[in-house]
Chains A and B, each alone.
Chain A
């Protein structure tokens, strides 16, 4: 078991390195850099090649590419993400500002999704091909089809027209004023949570259906076990693995993937920071963000694999 975990753990690093290299290269293929972006944004500035060269030198952009990459990697090893090329502030600070918000929305959306998905998925599986199943399936396919940003627009529109009310626009940390905080963040969490729950509902349904056909369920029923007990003890427990995986992976994606929904609700989260960083050609910040988002996914993936191996001995002996 430990050998498997160690092997799987070490496998994370080549992937992370790959992500780092890919991001590094992709960013530098894009025409223009932060200096050009800054001067294009400033008004009445003419492009003085000398000044620009000086600016580049200050940011280390005149160094050969391999040197820039090695510097970045060396920084990472010392847990130093460096400075944002645009604001000059430490990247850890820039990310810290937004991380709490993104994390909270992601956690709340996961709660919404789990609360919806598990009961709905089980109900649909138990009543397969009845109206219950059809309603749940249509509801969840609609969840996959509705863009969460549009759902967000509709929510805001509804509040505005019906209640003449808008969610607060400024972020208040939860511990400062929980009500103000929830009044702002519940809506994006619901908008995203619906889509997310659709993914999880479908997984719950298909996993349950598969498990319900297993021999041990038939055995349990033949023994005359109480149906509820069979469902909870035997079926649900075994069906939960893929469901937990999907919820975990979606959660990892939500941390950075809320790009569009954040725009609608005017949230200053990691997604918005990412879009800004790309537009400004802020290499260091973009790299840090991509690596953060990708490592969230890779780590969750690792944890899921370990959990699978722990629960299913066949995997670790393969």
Chain B
């Protein structure tokens, strides 16, 4: 049980240095890092599209129209239709929901679990640290896609399972980076002070150490976003990710899109463009965020 401190250790810190509001901070970010701002705008647009998919999409993404199979882009179907006569644009719009859900879900859970493990590992040190690190080494030895594939075949391929399968390979990668930041934080006397005050391990880890690894955490999170979307697209393309008839970009590139690529190239071109644009935007934003927060940290 945690022993309550006689004073609140966290409340005063924020009061001493008044923080700038988020609007000036965002403006400064845009001015100093135009590429990142472009990425942020595209990401914001994508989120908007995903949220208002029901309003924006001209057709139901699941409605099959055998009268308009493989129709080329025209006035009624702006980006053409697929082998089942489903509107490609509508499926792209709804596909953004799948991509963002998997992207944010996997990146958030992966980075968070990684941060907790990384900080915990650094805080406890000694044997726990050693064993955790060895375990992480084992997980990192698998290529991302191989581990995700294995996970999907264990868990099955519903949307939550795909998210979990993509989350798991991200955890050790994040834990590694966060641990190295947390190691230096552990040396700062306030951690010893917190221990001397009798705080529980949990409280020290969550309230005192985790907030101080926010910068690498956000950086890893934003780096994972793009990777998770790519990974989901790859899994779905292999037929092992999200399943038909859910609209997902990787799934749209599978099967008929390749078989009929010569006669109906729009089926193969647009979903790929959507994936690339999404990941590109996330990476632009993530990169600039990293440069702004911690120029020394390298992510791929």
Q: Could you list which residues of chain A lie within 8 angstroms of chain B, going by C-beta atoms? A: 14-15, 18-19, 22-23, 26-27, 29-30, 134, 137-138, 141-142, 144-147, 149-150, 153-154, 156-157, 160-161, 199, 202-203, 206, 242, 246, 253, 256-257, 259-260, 263-264, 274-275, 278-279, 290, 293-294, 297-298
- Chain B residues lying within 8 Å of A156, measured Cβ to Cβ, are 261
Which of B69-77, B121-129, B137-145, B178-186 forms contacts with chain A? B137-145
- A147-B284 in contact given A15-B134, A153-B272, A259-B238 (Cβ < 8 Å): no
- Chain B residues lying within 8 Å of A160, measured Cβ to Cβ, are 261-262
Is A147 within 8 A of B261, CB to CB? no
Is A154 within 8 A of B268, CB to CB? yes
Whole-angstrom distance between the Cβ of A288 and the nearest chain B Cβ: 13
Contact of A149 among B146, B153, B234 (CB under 8 A): B234
Whole-angstrom distance between the Cβ of A231 and the nearest chain B Cβ: 21
- The yes or no answer to B253 lying at the interface (CB within 8 A) is yes
Closest-by-CB residue of A relative to B223 is A144
- Within B240-269, the residues touching A (CB, 8 Å) are 240, 250, 253, 257-258, 261-262, 265, 268-269
Distance A124 CA – B290 CA, assembled complex (angstroms): 18
- Chain B residues lying within 8 Å of A290, measured Cβ to Cβ, are 142, 146, 150
Is A294 within 8 A of B238, CB to CB? no
- A18-B134 in contact given A161-B262, A206-B298 (Cβ < 8 Å): yes
Is A278 within 8 A of B150, CB to CB? yes
- The yes or no answer to B214 lying at the interface (CB within 8 A) is no
Distance A150 CA – B298 CA, assembled complex (angstroms): 27
- Chain A residues lying within 8 Å of B238, measured Cβ to Cβ, are 259-260, 263, 275
Give the one of B145, B146, B226, B280 with max A CB within 10 A.
Answer: B146
Is A138 within 8 A of B35, CB to CB? yes
- Chain A residues lying within 8 Å of B139, measured Cβ to Cβ, are 22
- Chain A residues lying within 8 Å of B138, measured Cβ to Cβ, are 15, 18-19, 22
- A144-B226 in contact given A149-B237, A293-B143 (Cβ < 8 Å): yes
Is B146 within 8 A of A293, CB to CB? yes
Distance A154 CA – B135 CA, assembled complex (angstroms): 40
- Chain B residues lying within 8 Å of A260, measured Cβ to Cβ, are 145, 234, 237-238
Closest-by-CB residue of B relative to A254 is B143
Whole-angstrom distance between the Cβ of B247 and the nearest chain A Cβ: 17
Q: Which 9 A-B pairs have the closest CB atoms?
A: A150-B272, A18-B138, A145-B279, A145-B280, A257-B143, A294-B141, A253-B143, A146-B276, A260-B234
Is A153 within 8 A of B283, CB to CB? no
- 13 A-B Cβ contacts within 8 A? A134-B35, A141-B284, A145-B230, A147-B230, A150-B272, A157-B261, A157-B268, A257-B146, A259-B145, A263-B238, A264-B258, A275-B149, A290-B150
Distance A256 CA – B268 CA, assembled complex (angstroms): 25
Whole-angstrom distance between the Cβ of A17 and the nearest chain B Cβ: 9
New A-B contacts (15) at CB < 8 Å, excluding given A145-B275, A199-B300, A263-B238: A15-B134, A137-B287, A141-B280, A147-B250, A149-B234, A149-B253, A150-B253, A150-B275, A150-B276, A157-B265, A160-B261, A203-B298, A260-B237, A275-B149, A294-B142
